[in-house]
Amino acid sequence: MSAVETIDLDAQRAKPRPRQAEKSTLIGLSKPEMAEALSSIGVPDKQIRMRVNQVWNWLYVRGVSDFSEMTNMAKDLRGKMAEAFDIARPEIVTEQISTDGTRKWLMRFPAHGAGRPVEIETVYIPEEDRGTLCISSQVGCTLTCSFCHTGTQRLVRNLRPEEILAQLLVARDALGDFPNRDAPNGAFIPESDRKVTNVVMMGMGEPLYNFEAVKKALLIASAEDGLSLSKRRITLSTSGVVPEIYRTGDEIGCMLAISLHAVRDDLRNILVPINKKYPLEELIKACRDYPGLSNARRITFEYVMLKDVNDSLEDARDLVKLLKGIPAKINLIPFNPWPGSNYQCSDWETIERFADFINQAGYASPIRTPRGRDILAACGQLKSESERMRKTERLAYEAMMIANHGD
């Protein structure tokens, strides 16, 4: 592929069936919640467990998005579910394909209090031995990390569990990763049976500021009788929300990544302002206390390489000292530029010298190959145009929608 490919799905095909506001979704419900939902439409108590297992299998093993495809259930029951519930995929506004095979989807979700429909970005990064899906947890972000493009977009709202899971379902649809589905012609995909082998909560937003929704989505994603992703292949990245780091270990049990980027509080206060609330001493203690920590279950520390900011050998020495005794991998991330950024990427020789020092100290220190830069899909580049409306704008917008019957 010689140039970036942007697929405007609105122009290529009919728009997906719009979600109806009065319908609740079955996506993202726990099994007990799904049992309550089916009971509410008259499914007999003695059938509830069987029906829940059937629906669960169709949603997460077979990947259907229409009740009519659930062929092992009676037609009248499928009709009742279709009248009461929604399992449709979100609207996919665009799909961009990078020259390196990276894919980025712009997805549109209902307003849910934000005033107008909101949009988020999800990125798929294929390699020979794995396919990693980078999932967003919020529309925008509150953290304002100075080197991050997403941080320039104010928080609009948290994503719901079904909206977090929908990103995984959309990707598996598009890549032919459900049974009896075909991968797109010419797509760069891993050689493994699965196209999406790993999930990282590293997209838009701070996952631990949306803890309950993220927890619910990841527990469903890792359920053995459904999407069945190993918790060792799910990584949650946080900028350092210390109380929820403890909860992540206890209640989710996935792999942990820390968006570190500096080894001194004065500099980290600038790069990652949440450090003012949870300084390095508290953050590193939470990492040392993370359950199951071992050489087989290491914490990943992410460190963006900023020219003349945090890339000296002194910084490398202090990094080794800071992490002493923690089973860790240190990902060095060449800074990915975005419009209006005030930073530059460290010279490649500087990055390699920094990595060599870390490696000699006994830590794995891979240099992350920039992926999807040409479609602004690389680390720190994600952003959508969604903005929270002022009250007066929202009221005017709602009045217009009513007048035009929602068109």
Binding residues for [4Fe-4S] cluster: 141, 145, 148
Which of 121, 162, 163, 302 does the annotation list as catalytic? 121
Q: Which residues are annotated as a binding site?
A: 141, 145, 148, 205-206, 237, 259-261, 336
287 a catalytic residue: no
Residue 86's beta-bridge partner residues?
A: 25
Could you tell me which of 129, 132, 110, 131 has the C-alpha nearest to residue 120?
A: 110
Q: Terminus-to-terminus CA distance in the chain, angstroms? A: 37
DSSP tag of 339: T
Task: Give how far the C-alpha of residue 253 lies from the chain's centroid of Cα atoms, to the nearest Å.
Answer: 17
Cβ-proximal residues to 365 (8 Å cutoff; 6+ apart), any chain: 329, 330, 331, 332, 354, 355, 358, 359
In degrees and rounded to multiples of 5, residue 330 shows phi and psi of -115, 110
Which uninterrupted H or E stretch holds 315? helix 313-322
Cβ-proximal residues to 122 (8 Å cutoff; 6+ apart), any chain: 104, 105, 107, 133, 134, 135, 136, 167, 170, 171, 203
Cβ-proximal residues to 139 (8 Å cutoff; 6+ apart), any chain: 109, 114, 118, 119, 120, 155, 156, 157, 158, 159, 204, 205, 384, 386
Which of 134, 254, 287, 379 does the annotation list as catalytic? 379
121 a catalytic residue: yes
Could you tell me which of 313, 293, 301 has the C-alpha nearest to residue 268?
A: 301
Retrieve residue 313's tokens.
Answer: 């050998």
3-state DSSP percent of the chain in helix, strand and coil, to 5: 35, 20, 45
Q: Which residues are annotated as a binding site for S-adenosyl-L-methionine?
A: 205-206, 237, 259-261, 336
Could you tell me which of 97, 139, 82 has the C-alpha nearest to residue 116?
A: 139
Active-site positions read 121, 379
